[in-house]
Structure 1
Amino acid sequence: MRVPELIDSHCHLDDAAFDPDRPDVLRRARAAGVQKIIVPAYNPLFWPRLQQLCARNVMLYPAYGVHPLYLHDCASDWLEALPVLLEQAVALGEIGLDRSANAPDHGAQVVCLKNQLQLARELGLPVILHARGTLEELILILRTFPGLRGVVHSFSGSLVQAQRLMDSGFYLGLGAAFTHARALRLQATIRSLPLQQVVIETDAPWQSGATFKGQRNEPAYLRETLEALAGLREIPARQLAEQLTRNTLSLFRLQEIV
């Protein structure tokens, strides 16, 4: 079944995991109906390669930012260099907070996040947010930046947290995590989410879904997420695809880009 245009709202296509076959990955994506891909930066050391990749392919839309796990790779002038790159970007990201083992100092993470949130608000850009073990803290910080828009990628929180984010103008990025059989709590949350502020993503090359467990993830597998979400919500995949595409175009203002 052919569905309307799909947009992968979060895919690290610049990662070295795609170096052996990136043209084939893009070809498979197009064959699966994925026509646009948001490619968020995560390490400032890789900003140049992301810029070069997106400049060569009209399917790809870059976002630039400093992921909390890569604070130590920032040059001293990173906050001055970032606005220049953002002139050609659709969002500021991937940024956020991370409480995983061996993560950088949490206070330093918060400072870096707030600097980038302020920059995004000044530039009128949406943000792409990472929250590992920090969703409640992130929600409280976002309240101090009224008017800011964006997406919490790989959302796995509660329905109450989802509603608080959506009430603040944020979208929820759903990856393939909910396709695994044990993700019962997340599946229950997703069944009740308003779809007007939901987008789908792969987070490739990571976070493969149930069908491709143990394999490198890629944009073509976004179809699995779409079909699984349509099954959970008991609506036709075509209808869902149309809604999700409208959401993603609106969030990143892609319809304004010629």
Structure 2
Amino acid sequence: MIDAHIHLDWYNEEEQAIILEDLEKRTIDGVIAVSSDLNSCNNVWKLHQACPHVYPAFGWHPEQKLPSEAELDAIEEMIHKHQDSLAAIGEVGLPYYMKKEDPFLDVQPYTEILERFLSLAKKCDLPIVLHAIYEDAELVCDLLEKHQVTKAHFHWFKGSEKTIQRMIERKYMISVTPDCLYEQEIQRLIEQYPLELMMVETDGPWQFEGPFQGQMTHPKMMEQSLAQIARIKNMPFGTVSATIVKNTVTFYQVKDRH
């Protein structure tokens, strides 16, 4: 199992040690560790150096106050410097939740930052990891086409039927979180989306409800997600698991490191 999206640097040191130990034991095969700002990029890089099965992605998370130009320049410099070791550019996207809280939020600067990272993804030939849900996803699809970026991963995606069909046509990847065990919206998405365009993730340390209530979010939770996908798709667990691992390895080009 490979966790297609985790904020490993957001865990405390004790929790990181637990996950890193499981990676070393190969209980978990790997994690795509996304970044949220410059400091996060540096911390994710240190985690990658500590464990080669932590596959780093550098980016700037949109659900926060705007960064300085110097910070964006420094992140871009890190992307170029470590390009050959990166799994992707991310997490990047648009500030959906901030916009919900403040309907007057000017999203234009956030859109410009996203376009900067899309240009980088195209230039560096790296996949891009997207925070883009509901109506934001439609705009992000437009921007992906504008910048001719085809390797796109919409993590923890939620959106309209129209957007879902558009994403399937473009062969954009999605990833399923452990809330698939209790969220009907995610279960319907699993029914609709092709298995060949699907990965699993935790988005840890985000905590889940249902059977995971009160637990530290750990990549091992993905096993229950895989079982739920198998049930919904009415397919053997082994087929689902093997396909999703293959999808993740192929999309993130971690085969040589896997």
TM-score normalized by the length of structure 1: 0.87
2:84 is aligned with 1:84: no
Residue pair 2:66, 2:110 contacting (<8 A) in 1 also: no
Structure 1: runs of 5+ lacking an equivalent: 1-5
Q: Distance in 2 between matches of 1:41 and 1:191?
A: 30
Letter in 2 for 1:210: G
2:223 is aligned with 1:229: no
CA 1:115–1:45 in structure 2 vs 1: closer, same or farther (change >3 Å)? Answer: same
Superposed CA RMSD: 2.3
Q: Where does residue 206 of structure 1 map in the other structure?
A: 206
Residue pair 2:63, 2:96 contacting (<8 A) in 1 also: no
CA 1:74–1:66 in structure 2 vs 1: closer, same or farther (change >3 Å)? Answer: farther
Q: Where does residue 14 of structure 1 map in the other structure?
A: 9
Deviates more, 1:116-125 or 1:33-42: 33-42
Give 2:90's match in structure 1, choosing from 85, 93, 101: 93
2:137 is aligned with 1:135: yes
Deviates more, 1:243-252 or 1:217-226: 217-226
Residue pair 2:174, 2:197 contacting (<8 A) in 1 also: yes
Structure 2: runs of 5+ lacking an equivalent: none
Q: Where does residue 34 of structure 1 map in the other structure?
A: 28
Deviates more, 1:164-173 or 1:26-35: 26-35
Number of aligned pairs? 250
Q: Distance in 1 between matches of 2:59 and 2:238?
A: 33
Q: Where does residue 3 of structure 1 map in the other structure?
A: none
TM-score normalized by the length of structure 2: 0.87
- Describe how 1:38-187 pairs up with structure 2 within 5 A: 38-70=32-64, 72-74=66-68, 76=70, 78-79=72-73, 80-81=76-77, 82-101=79-98, 105-133=106-134, 134-180=136-182, 183-187=183-187
Q: Where does residue 240 of structure 1 map in the other structure?
A: 240
CA 1:71–1:116 in structure 2 vs 1: closer, same or farther (change >3 Å)? Answer: farther
Letter in 1 for 2:164: A
Describe the SS at the equivalent of 1:165. Answer: helix
